[in-house]
């Protein structure tokens, strides 16, 4: 990335939870959701793309436009430097061979009326969305956000093993969020002109195949990527076609918060596709208790390509000779441009909660424990009284020895095992006693090289002890932990950091797919 984006320190568990959750929420038959392997983050100030931009803002707009218009092909977002841009594909389609126009006068009049309702024509001949279409797009965005919030809460509750969580969804959250979604739909239908706009779009789509020259002309008049002077150049020299998001004020509105407890995270990972877990991992480590984040799904606005499917979905064009198909329409699809980014899921205030057992190492080291020595494992010091010490390497006779616990300590033997892998959780869970561990130089000996035993010390701490070298002068290694109550530690992203957490990509049908019934 350039100066606008930073690689932020989100761990793989966080990326995995974010990616799988957003894929689950936003994937449908018409859309693929691509998630980044490494974080893509911008400062809030660099995502404010409206109004007059300074040089840094222009550079950020150029970088985001370049990123949003890379052609994705996989569920893992990792656009290659040599992958094409959407405007490159658009330029090819604008140069395609078209079917002959065959609109009747009545159809031409109806198509012109619908186009005039949806688009305003500027003095230079370019088209921009009409007020009705802009109202439609804003209302649709509000409904989309309300619908995603409803489904997010619904799925979280359904995956939870806690009956109280499911009851709260049924009795409190579900009615409230359903009402918000219903209100958003009502607004979309009234002030968003839903039926009128969709009728006009449907009419143009139905008739466009019979009048491709008019459709192609409108697009060329708006922006023709085959003409270099139509691109914008940023102060850093990057050439781009400006791409924005809507609603423009998304950063200043309240975002819903997703809270994914551990059981929900585990359920999500179990359902995740192999390609995602292969890239991001397939486990949630034992310390993770929850992942939470604020999110918002924003639509991308390309003033230079509106609507994109009017061209890509048309059956009234043929590709230039020797050009490979954009998409074969298969499942999964194959081709040079099987999808393009239609919207982006933003996330901020990301918090990963981990439970720490609270271990503190109070003493550790290596020492030679002679055959009559008592050691205090809380301090590592040799002592003279079993009341003060924790273990006594007791040589009873030349052929008899044992490791004896102090008067206020208890002991247990684990056998030959991996010393380093033993943690406080395991030590606390062991059963301890007062019986000595045999150290006889015969088959009854339990204190061989590599043997590990554990001690609950006179101070109530827990120690693991490794027999490095068995003998009268026994070389041991130990670590003593002080137990504390578990604590939840929160790792939260910095204020102002906004992550591009997922790219929602529109699937292309078979394209091109020339209709043999048309006149060519």
Residue 355: inside a domain = no
Residues 64 and 136 placed together within one structural domain of the fold: no
- Residue span of the structural domain in which 515 resides: 1-102+234-255+293-349+494-520
Residues 90 and 120 placed together within one structural domain of the fold: no
Residue 432: inside a domain = yes
Closest residue by Cα to residue 323 from 28, 94, 32: 94
User: Residue 332, exposed/middle/buried by CB under 10 A (0-12, 13-18, 19+)?
Assistant: exposed
- The count of structural domains within the chain is 3
Collapsed DSSP state (helix, strand, coil) of residue 367: strand
State the pLDDT at residue 374: 94
Residues 385 and 457 placed together within one structural domain of the fold: yes
DSSP string covering 230-248: GSEE-TTS-EE---EEEST
Residue 336: inside a domain = yes
Task: For residues 199 and 204, give the distance between their C-alpha atoms in angstroms, rounded to a whole number.
Answer: 9
- The kind and range of the H/E element at 23 are helix 12-26
Residue 223: inside a domain = no
Mean pLDDT, each 10-residue run in order, the chain (520 residues): 45 89 92 90 90 91 94 78 87 93 91 91 81 92 91 90 91 96 97 96 86 90 90 94 89 92 91 87 88 94 90 89 88 91 95 82 94 92 91 83 95 96 92 94 89 96 96 94 84 93 95 92
Residues 36 and 127 placed together within one structural domain of the fold: no
Residues 112 and 163 placed together within one structural domain of the fold: yes
**Residue 358, C-beta contacts closer than 8 angstroms, at least 6 positions apart:** 483, 484, 485, 486, 487
Residues 96 and 109 placed together within one structural domain of the fold: no
Residue 265: inside a domain = no
- The kind and range of the H/E element at 67 are helix 55-68
Residue 218: inside a domain = no
Residues 344 and 245 placed together within one structural domain of the fold: yes
State the pLDDT at residue 8: 47
Residues 239 and 337 placed together within one structural domain of the fold: yes
Residue 217: inside a domain = no
**Residue 102, C-beta contacts closer than 8 angstroms, at least 6 positions apart:** 210, 211, 518, 519
Residues 95 and 238 placed together within one structural domain of the fold: yes
Residues 367 and 473 placed together within one structural domain of the fold: yes
Residues 370 and 470 placed together within one structural domain of the fold: yes
Residue 274: inside a domain = no
Task: For residues 360 and 379, give the distance between their C-alpha atoms in angstroms, rounded to a whole number.
Answer: 13
- The alpha carbon of 268 is separated from its chain's Cα centroid by a whole number of angstroms, namely 12
For the chain, what is the radius of gyration of the CA atoms? 33
- Cα dihedral 452/456/458/460 (nearest 10): 140
State the pLDDT at residue 442: 84
Residues 465 and 502 placed together within one structural domain of the fold: no
- The kind and range of the H/E element at 216 are helix 212-222
Question: The pTM is what?
Answer: 0.73
State the pLDDT at residue 7: 39
**What does the block give as tokens for 266?**
């585990």
- The alpha carbon of 67 is separated from its chain's Cα centroid by a whole number of angstroms, namely 17
State the pLDDT at residue 287: 87
């Amino acid at each position: 990335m350039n100066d606008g984006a930073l690689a932020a320190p989100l761990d793989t568990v966080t990326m995995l939870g974010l990616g799988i959750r957003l894929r689950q929420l936003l994937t449908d038959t018409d859309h693929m959701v691509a998630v980044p392997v490494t974080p893509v983050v911008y400062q809030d100030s660099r995502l404010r793309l409206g109004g007059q931009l300074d040089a840094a803002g222009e550079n950020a707009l150029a970088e985001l436009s370049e990123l949003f218009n890379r052609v994705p092909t996989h569920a893992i977002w990792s656009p290659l430097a040599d992958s094409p841009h959407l405007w490159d594909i658009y330029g090819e389609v604008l140069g395609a061979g078209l079917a002959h126009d065959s609109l009747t006068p009545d159809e031409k009049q109806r198509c012109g009326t619908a186009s005039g309702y949806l688009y305003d024509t500027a003095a230079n001949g370019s088209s921009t969305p009409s007020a009705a279409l802009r109202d439609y797009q804003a209302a649709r965005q509000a409904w989309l956000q309300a619908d995603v919030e409803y489904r997010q809460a619904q799925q979280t509750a359904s995956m939870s093993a806690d009956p109280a969580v499911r009851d709260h969804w049924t009795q409190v959250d579900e009615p409230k969020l359903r009402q918000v979604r219903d209100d958003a739909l009502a607004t979309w239908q009234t002030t968003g002109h839903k039926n009128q706009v969709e009728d006009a779009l449907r009419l143009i789509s139905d008739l466009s195949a019979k009048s491709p020259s008019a459709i192609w002309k409108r697009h060329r008049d708006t922006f023709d990527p085959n003409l270099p002077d139509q691109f914008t150049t940023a102060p850093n020299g990057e050439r781009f076609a400006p791409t924005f998001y809507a609603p423009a004020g998304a950063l200043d509105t309240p975002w819903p918060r997703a809270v994914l407890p551990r059981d929900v995270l585990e359920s999500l990972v179990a359902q995740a596709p192999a390609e995602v877990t292969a890239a991001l991992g397939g486990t949630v480590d034992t310390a993770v208790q929850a992942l939470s984040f604020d999110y918002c799904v924003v639509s991308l606005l390309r003033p230079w390509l509106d609507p994109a499917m009017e061209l890509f979905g048309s059956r009234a064009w043929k590709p230039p000779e020797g050009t490979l198909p954009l998409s074969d329409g298969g499942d999964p699809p194959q081709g040079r441009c099987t999808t393009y980014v239609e919207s982006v899921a933003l996330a901020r205030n990301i918090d990963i909660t981990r439970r720490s057992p609270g271990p503190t190492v109070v003493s550790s080291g290596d020492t030679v424990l002679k055959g009559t020595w008592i050691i205090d494992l809380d301090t590592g010091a040799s002592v003279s009284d079993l009341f003060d010490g924790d273990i006594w390497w007791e040589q009873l006779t030349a052929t008899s020895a044992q490791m004896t616990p102090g008067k206020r300590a208890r002991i247990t033997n684990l056998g030959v095992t991996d010393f380093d892998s033993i943690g406080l959780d395991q030590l606390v869970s062991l059963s301890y006693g007062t019986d000595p561990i045999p150290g006889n130089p015969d088959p009854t000996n339990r204190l061989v090289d590599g043997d590990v035993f554990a001690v609950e010390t006179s101070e109530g701490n827990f120690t693991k002890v490794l027999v490095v070298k068995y003998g009268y002068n026994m070389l041991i290694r130990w670590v003593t932990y002080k137990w504390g109550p578990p604590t939840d530690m929160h790792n939260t992203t910095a204020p102002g950091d906004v992550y591009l957490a997922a790219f929602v990509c529109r699937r292309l049908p078979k394209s091109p797919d020339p209709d043999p019934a048309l006149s060519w």
